[in-house]
Structure formats: C-alpha cells, structure tokens
Amino acid sequence: MFEIHPMEIVGLVAATLTTASFVPQVYKAYKTKDVEGVSLTMFLAMFVGVLLWLVYGFYLKSLSMVIANIITSVLCLMILILKIKHKKKS
C-alpha cells in the first residue's frame, strides 16, 4: 500500500519531531495548569488542519504523514481539553 524510499526516513524523523513536540506542551499544561499563555485559536485551527493533513497524507500514500497526523490530532485534542478545563483559573 505504501512505497518505501530512503527519503521516507527524513519524513519519519520530521513526523516524529513535530508529533512529539506536542507532548511537552500536553505535559506542561497538565502539570502546571497554567494555560493562559496558550492560544485556544492556535490549537483549534491546528486540530482541524491536522485532520485534513491526514486525508492528504492518504492521498500521497505517505506513511509518515498518516501516522504522524493521527497521533498529533489526539495530542492536539488533549491540549484543547486542558486549555478549556483550566482557562481563567490561574
């Protein structure tokens, strides 16, 4: 279903980095409950955008994009939930 090419390694590292980048933000928001500086608009637009990247990734038959965008959408949703939950509490 998916083609394998050496450049897929670059895609996989890119996917790992941008996907993993959401983890420290989820952790920070969960731990400190300080989400005042976090933009709700950013993570809302990001969430919808990531879902569309997922569709586009299927079209490009890019394994990196499909996997990365599934995980990113979940992490993004967690930040959104934490932002809404802890808003105006700090």
- By the rule CB under 8 A, 2 interacts with its own copies: no
- By the rule CB under 8 A, 73 interacts with its own copies: no
Burial 3-18 (b: 16+ CB within 10 A, else e): eeeeeeeebeeebeee
By C-beta, is 20 or 84 nearer to its own copies?
20
Cα distance between residue 59 and residue 57, in whole Å? 5
- By the rule CB under 8 A, 36 interacts with its own copies: yes
By C-beta, is 1 or 41 nearer to its own copies?
41
- By the rule CB under 8 A, 59 interacts with its own copies: yes
Query: Do the beta carbons of residue 65 and residue 15 sit within 8 Å?
Result: yes
Q: Residues binding its own copies: what is the number (CB under 8 A)?
A: 45
Cα distance between residue 80 and residue 82, in whole Å? 6
Q: Which residues of the shown chain bind its own copies in the complex (CB under 8 A)?
A: 5, 7, 10-11, 13-25, 27-29, 32, 34-39, 41-46, 48-50, 52-53, 55-56, 59-60, 62, 64, 90
